């Protein structure tokens, strides 16, 4: 690793959670690799080796620690983002792309050759794309074995394997343990599914909560003092989750209802993106402080939506980074209501196009929504992230969609979680535009500035609020 080893030594010995997932430590005497926060007694430095990724440690023959569980570490390691094509490839793999597609399909999606993709992974990660994807599936299965009571067969399918035998063979090959050995004890099946999702602290829950509260869609989303939940449509499946913030443990506990565990891998990755759990808050805060020459809010996150189609529809109905306008009553007609459970679902792009004729909306409203749905599907962004170049702009012709520039940027912000959108505000807003010096985190700077100004406005006397009402 081409990084200052001294920093890793200090982080390991202090068990600093801010470095969790940025690197892994392997111990020569035990053959085990760990997270930087592992509670086990620290080994001697001469017996420690440092790796950028879990897969690098595994490829050197080390197996994951059963105590600190590297499968639970936050994502977004330090090297992510240095190579745009690699970043897009890893994002697609996290969305489960290789579970149903081949490496040539991945290369075509990325707009490069099969040979280039393999070379990129070999030089950057020391493995092939398939090997990387397989190890992520195994770590995900390990997490489910630790945290859930799902039967091993269901875990195998949830992790993307087509047979239990294939799952058992790969699991033992990668971890030198069987799934039963990792689980350790007998469990009884449960209707509820609960998993934990870790993040790198700090996490500005107050800011996230405030942003979502102003844009909450009743019956689709819900908020509590320390939790956020919502319904969702994933493929042909409907579900819902509630994520409860556990700040003392730097994680969210997610209670999930999902009738078919096969898509659990992609669903949990979507929840991670929605809560922006893979951000590196220290790096973001430092860049924002350097750009503004003043201390910046640490822990800012991008509050996501379920997918890019939903974020675009919200924007078309008046939602923006400055507020929700009066969109809630209008957007009610777009939702799919469940009379039995009294909840509602935001349609996916596919669902919208197949049910649009049944919805009580004027044709003048249906047409642009259908055009946006068709665009999302044609760009393959409805259920994955937006394809972008190094400047955060869509690599394809954005003139084929019905959104304005501001609406499109909002869709990319909340739907795809793009971290470096420069133009989230227009010139009429009394909020400083994001400085180019804040790249590649300009989205976070805008959100932080908006939250700060709106919080200040709420604490001002009534006369001052009226004077500045254009920013509330």
209 belongs to a structural domain: yes
Report the pLDDT value the prediction gives residue 329, as an integer from 0 to 100: 74
Is the peptide bond preceding residue 440 cis, with omega within 30 degrees of 0? yes
Higher-pLDDT residue of 220, 7: 220
Question: What CATH number corresponds to the domain at position 40?
Answer: 3.40.10.10
Question: Are 246 and 178 in a shared domain?
Answer: no
Average pLDDT on 284-293 reads 88
Question: Are 62 and 102 in a shared domain?
Answer: no
470 belongs to a structural domain: no
Residue 237's DSSP bridge partners are: 234
Question: Are 183 and 213 in a shared domain?
Answer: no
Question: Are 390 and 326 in a shared domain?
Answer: yes
79 belongs to a structural domain: no
Of 145-159, 292-306, 405-419, the one with minimum mean pLDDT is 292-306
In order of 127, 155, 418, the CA distances from 146 in angstroms are 27, 11, 32
In order of 32, 338, 376, 411, the CA distances from 365 in angstroms are 58, 23, 17, 18
Q: Which domain-ending residue is among 173, 190, 207?
A: 190
Length of the chain as a residue count: 472
469 belongs to a structural domain: no
Question: Are 264 and 215 in a shared domain?
Answer: yes
Average pLDDT on 295-303 reads 86
Question: Are 201 and 228 in a shared domain?
Answer: yes
Report the pLDDT value the prediction gives residue 190, as an integer from 0 to 100: 63
Question: What CATH number corresponds to the domain at position 112?
Answer: 1.10.10.60
Question: Are 181 and 246 in a shared domain?
Answer: no
- Give the model's confidence band at 186: pLDDT under 50 very low, under 70 low, under 90 confident, else very high: low
351 belongs to a structural domain: yes
Model confidence at 79: pLDDT above 60 = no
Decide: helix, strand or coil at residue 27.
Answer: strand
Q: What is the pLDDT of residues 106-138, one digit of tens each?
A: 999 888 899 999 999 988 888 899 999 999 999
Handedness of CA 207, 213, 217, 222 (dihedral sign): positive
Question: Are 52 and 104 in a shared domain?
Answer: no
Question: Are 99 and 214 in a shared domain?
Answer: no
Average pLDDT on 49-62 reads 88
- Name 241's Cβ contacts closer than 8 Å, sequence gap at least 6: 229, 230, 232, 254, 255, 256, 257, 267, 271
Cβ neighbourhood burial of 371 (10 Å; 0-12, 13-18, 19+): middle
- Give the model's confidence band at 469: pLDDT under 50 very low, under 70 low, under 90 confident, else very high: very low
Model confidence at 265: pLDDT above 50 = yes
CB 433 within 8 A of CB 425: yes
78 belongs to a structural domain: no
CB 324 within 8 A of CB 318: yes
Cβ neighbourhood burial of 358 (10 Å; 0-12, 13-18, 19+): exposed
Higher-pLDDT residue of 140, 326: 140
Question: What CATH number corresponds to the domain at position 240?
Answer: 3.30.310.20
464 belongs to a structural domain: no
- Give the model's confidence band at 273: pLDDT under 50 very low, under 70 low, under 90 confident, else very high: very high
- Give the model's confidence band at 437: pLDDT under 50 very low, under 70 low, under 90 confident, else very high: confident
Of 13-17, 179-183, 280-284, 377-381, the one with minimum mean pLDDT is 377-381
Higher-pLDDT residue of 467, 178: 178
Q: What is the pLDDT of residues 190-206, one digit of tens each?
A: 667 999 999 999 999 99
To the nearest whole number, what is the mean pLDDT of the chain? 84
Q: Which domain-ending residue is among 190, 225, 254?
A: 190
Of 102-111, 286-295, 304-313, 404-413, the one with minimum mean pLDDT is 286-295
- Give the model's confidence band at 464: pLDDT under 50 very low, under 70 low, under 90 confident, else very high: very low
Measured distance CA(77)–CA(22) in Å, rounded: 4
77 belongs to a structural domain: no
Domain count, the chain: 3
Question: Are 370 and 314 in a shared domain?
Answer: yes
* Domain housing 63: 5-70
What pTM did the predictor assign? 0.85
Higher-pLDDT residue of 77, 401: 401
Model confidence at 1: pLDDT above 60 = no
In order of 9, 61, 69, 212, the CA distances from 39 in angstroms are 15, 22, 11, 35
CB 322 within 8 A of CB 334: no
Q: Which domain-ending residue is among 190, 221, 247?
A: 190
Question: Are 52 and 118 in a shared domain?
Answer: no
Question: Are 279 and 386 in a shared domain?
Answer: yes
- Rounding to the nearest 10 degrees, give the CA dihedral for residues 78, 79, 85, 86: -100
């Amino acid at each position: 690793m081409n990084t200052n080893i001294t920093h890793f030594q200090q982080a390991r010995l202090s068990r600093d959670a801010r470095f969790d997932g940025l690197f892994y430590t392997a111990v020569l005497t035990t053959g085990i690799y760990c997270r930087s926060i592992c509670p086990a007694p620290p080994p001697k430095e001469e017996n420690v080796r440092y790796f950028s990724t879990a897969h690098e440690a595994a490829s050197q023959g080390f197996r994951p620690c059963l105590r600190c569980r590297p499968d639970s570490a936050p994502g977004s390691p330090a090297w992510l983002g240095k190579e745009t094509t690699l970043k897009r490839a890893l994002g697609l793999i996290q969305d489960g792309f290789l579970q149903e597609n081949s490496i040539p399909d991945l290369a075509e999606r990325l707009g490069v050759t099969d040979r280039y993709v393999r070379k990129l992974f070999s030089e950057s990660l020391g493995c092939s794309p398939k090997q990387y994807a397989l190890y992520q599936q195994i770590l995900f299965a390990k997490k489910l074995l630790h945290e859930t009571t799902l039967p091993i067969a269901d875990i195998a399918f949830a992790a993307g394997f087509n047979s239990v035998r294939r799952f058992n063979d790969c699991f033992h090959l990668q971890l030198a343990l069987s799934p039963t050995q990792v689980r350790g004890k007998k469990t009884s099946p449960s209707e509820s599914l609960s998993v934990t999702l870790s993040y790198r602290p700090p996490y500005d829950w107050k800011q996230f909560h405030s942003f979502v509260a102003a844009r909450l869609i009743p019956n689709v989303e819900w908020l509590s003092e320390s939790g956020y939940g919502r319904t969702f449509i994933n493929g042909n499946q409907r579900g819902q989750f509630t994520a409860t913030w556990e700040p003392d443990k730097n994680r969210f506990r997610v209670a999930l209802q999902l009738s078919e565990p096969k898509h659990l891998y992609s669903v949990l990755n979507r929840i991670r993106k929605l809560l922006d759990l893979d951000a590196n808050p220290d790096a973001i805060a430092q860049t924002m402080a350097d750009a503004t020459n003043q201390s910046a809010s640490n822990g800012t996150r991008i509050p996501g939506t379920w997918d890019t189609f939903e974020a675009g529809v919200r924007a078309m109905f008046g939602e923006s980074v400055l507020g929700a306008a009066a969109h809630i009553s209008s957007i009610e007609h777009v939702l799919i209501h469940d009379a039995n459970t009294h909840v509602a679902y935001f349609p996916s792009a596919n669902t919208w196009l197949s049910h649009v004729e049944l919805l009580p909306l004027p044709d003048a409203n249906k047409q642009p929504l259908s055009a946006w749905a068709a665009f999302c599907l044609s760009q393959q962004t409805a259920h994955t992230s937006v394809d972008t170049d190094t400047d955060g702009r869509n690599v394809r012709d954005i003139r084929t969609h019905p959104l304005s520039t501001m609406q499109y940027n909002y869709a990319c912000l909340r739907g795809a979680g793009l971290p470096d959108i420069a133009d989230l505000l227009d010139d009429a807003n009394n909020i400083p535009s994001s400085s180019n010096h804040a790249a590649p985190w300009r989205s976070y700077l805008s959100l932080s500035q908006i939250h700060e100004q709106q919080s200040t406005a709420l604490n001002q006397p009534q006369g001052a609020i009226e004077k500045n009402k254009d920013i509330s």
